[in-house]
Amino acid sequence: MNLLLELAYWVYNYCTDFVINLANILNLSYYEVNFFLFIILYPALLLGTALLFLIQKWRLKKWQMKIFNEQ
C-alpha cells in the first residue's frame, strides 16, 4: 500500500511540474494552462473519440451489409 501511495504522489508531482513548466514556456499562468488542459482539451478529446467510435461503428455496419448483400 505504501508503494502505491508513493506512486500516486510521484504521478501527481510529475503532472503538476509538467503543467508549471508548460505555463512558464507558454508565458501563461498555471491556472490558464490547467483550464485549457482539463476544461477545453480533455472534453474535446473525449467527445472526439466517442464520435470517432460511432463513425467507425457505422462504417463497419455499412461494410458488413455490403459484404452480406454480395453473397
Task: Quick: pLDDT tens for 9-68.
Answer: 999 999 999 999 999 999 999 999 999 999 999 999 999 999 999 999 999 999 988 887
pLDDT at 1 over 80: no
Distances (CA, A) of 30 to 5, 8, 22: 25, 21, 8
Euclidean distance between CA atoms 10 and 32, whole angstroms: 23
How many Cβ atoms from other residues are within 10 Å of residue 71's Cβ? 4
Q: So what's the pLDDT on residue 71? A: 67
How many Cβ atoms from other residues are within 10 Å of residue 53's Cβ? 10
Q: So what's the pLDDT on residue 67? A: 82
Q: Are 19 and 34 in contact (CB under 8 A)?
A: yes
Q: So what's the pLDDT on residue 66? A: 83
Q: So what's the pLDDT on residue 19? A: 96
